[in-house]
């Protein structure tokens, strides 16, 4: 008997996803995720910046 495929869940609250808001379950969870990116809670790792690059920022 084949195993049932797992349903995707919202990365914010864990509820099942909705096609309209994928990969989230609602507009609220989508906005929470965007807010986390804008606040800097999520980062994409990269090479360290040189000291002179940091001074220009």
Binding residues for Zn(2+): 10, 13, 25, 29
Positions at the binding site: 10, 13, 25, 29
CA distance 15 to 9: 5
């Amino acid at each position: 008997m084949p195993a049932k495929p797992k349903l995707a869940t919202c990365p914010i609250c864990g509820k099942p996803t909705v096609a309209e808001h994928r990969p989230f379950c609602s507009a609220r969870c989508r906005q929470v995720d965007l807010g986390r990116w804008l606040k800097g809670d999520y980062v994409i790792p990269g090479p360290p910046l040189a000291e002179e690059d940091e001074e220009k920022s």
